């Protein structure tokens, strides 16, 4: 149990935001620093890369393509033309920021947060009708998020504060309240991307920490899994039974000597688990 497999040598500078597409049985993720996203079919080993043209922090599916959170705000990706149409940028007045992680909730709303402005970053909710709401402010670095299986709790990571927060979540209105510390850990690395499994446990990747952790719904660490790379970035469940944890990583922060010591940095990994994940939702706009 808990044996990490090295799946794909991609040497992503900043691999992030993995998302499993059940209809295709393939994995998608972004390489933020390479201005692109990737697609991988585990059954055939085929890998494809798509140029976006600017740093893209997160992607999610929508009819006919994807929604993206980028350096210039929200965009739609068209699968036919393989091009991005930029919709709006709520932080156009802050050229130093970009969008980072993001996910779609059970009612088809796209949540995404920013980084780059010290502790003045924000979490946004982009609704299917095209409106945007600021949901949280004063963030150090917006990162991994997810929802409990019963949709009553939302989890959100502030990387610079070494903290994963939990909120009461109203799935009908799409609101969050009663923020509290779910996990705070400054012992080894920084909390990055996360995913939630069908048992309501949270899996978090720890940038600089050489590890993945699993926490029960009360925040207690249930297990820690050593990684062969220093900077795992995020994780998601995939495979025919959603019982395979795919893990992205990065090499951009490593010097030449560190890259030599970590030849797998930036690659894609997989962990077979005894639990299953939750199916990702599609943006409704």
Residue 277 within a domain: no
**Average pLDDT, integer, range 3-24:** 97
Residue 145 within a domain: yes
Among residues 210, 209, 199, 213, the alpha carbon closest in space to that of 243 is found at: 199
**pLDDT at position 154:** 98
**pLDDT at position 76:** 97
**pLDDT at position 67:** 98
**pLDDT at position 34:** 96
Question: CB burial class (10 A; 0-12, 13-18, 19+) of residue 48?
Answer: exposed
**pLDDT at position 1:** 53
**pLDDT at position 283:** 98
Q: What is the pLDDT of residues 37-89, one digit of tens each?
A: 999 999 999 999 999 999 999 999 999 899 999 999 999 999 999 999 999 99
**What burial letters (b/e) apply to 56-89, b meaning 16+ CB within 10 Å?**
bbbbbbbeebbbbbbbbbbbbbeeeeeebeebeb
**pLDDT at position 201:** 98
**Distance, CA of 262 to CA of 12 (rounded, Å):** 13
β partners of residue 146:
155
Q: What is the pLDDT of residues 205-244, one digit of tens each?
A: 999 999 999 999 999 999 999 999 999 999 999 999 999 9
* Residue 266, domain extent: 4-272
The mean pLDDT value of the chain amounts to 97
Examine the residue annotation and report whether 192 is marked as an active-site residue of this protein: yes
CATH number at residue 70: 2.120.10.30
**What burial letters (b/e) apply to 166-201, b meaning 16+ CB within 10 Å?**
bbebeeeebebeeeeebbebeeebbbbbbbbbeebb
pLDDT over 90 percentage in the chain: 97
Residue 83 within a domain: yes
Task: Count how many domains the chain has.
Answer: 1
Residue 134 within a domain: yes
pLDDT surpasses 80 at 139: yes
Residue 175 within a domain: yes
Choice among 89, 192, 197, 267 that is catalytic:
192
**Average pLDDT, integer, range 186-210:** 97
Residue 282 within a domain: no
**Average pLDDT, integer, range 159-176:** 98
Residue 281 within a domain: no
Residue 104 within a domain: yes
Q: What is the pLDDT of residues 72-83, one digit of tens each?
A: 999 999 999 999
């Amino acid at each position: 149990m808990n044996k990490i497999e090295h799946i794909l040598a991609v040497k992503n500078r900043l691999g992030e935001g993995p998302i499993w597409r059940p209809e295709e049985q393939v994995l998608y993720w972004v390489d933020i620093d390479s201005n692109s996203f990737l697609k991988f079919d585990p059954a055939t080993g085929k890998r494809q890369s798509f140029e976006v043209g600017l740093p893209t922090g997160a992607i999610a599916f929508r009819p006919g393509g994807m929604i993206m959170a980028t350096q210039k705000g929200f965009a739609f990706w068209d699968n036919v033309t393989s091009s991005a149409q930029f919709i709006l940028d709520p932080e156009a007045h802050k050229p130093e920021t970009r969008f980072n992680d993001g996910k779609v909730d059970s009612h088809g709303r796209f949540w995404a947060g920013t980084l780059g402005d010290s502790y003045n970053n924000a979490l946004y909710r982009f609704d299917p009708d095209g409106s945007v709401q600021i949901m949280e402010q004063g963030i150090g670095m917006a990162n991994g998020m997810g929802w409990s299986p019963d949709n009553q709790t939302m989890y959100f990571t502030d990387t610079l504060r070494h903290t994963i927060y939990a909120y009461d979540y109203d799935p009908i209105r799409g609101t969050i309240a009663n923020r509290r510390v779910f996990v705070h850990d400054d012992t080894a690395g920084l909390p990055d991307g996360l995913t939630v499994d069908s048992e309501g446990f949270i899996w978090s990747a720890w940038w600089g920490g050489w590890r993945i952790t699993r926490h029960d719904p009360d925040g207690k660490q249930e297990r820690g899994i050593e990684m062969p790379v220093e900077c795992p970035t995020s994780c998601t469940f995939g495979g025919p039974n959603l019982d395979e944890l795919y893990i992205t990583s990065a090499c951009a922060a490593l010097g030449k000597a560190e890259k030599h010591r970590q030849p797998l940095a930036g690659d894609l990994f997989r962990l077979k688990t005894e639990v299953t994940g939750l199916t990702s939702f599609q943006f409704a706009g």
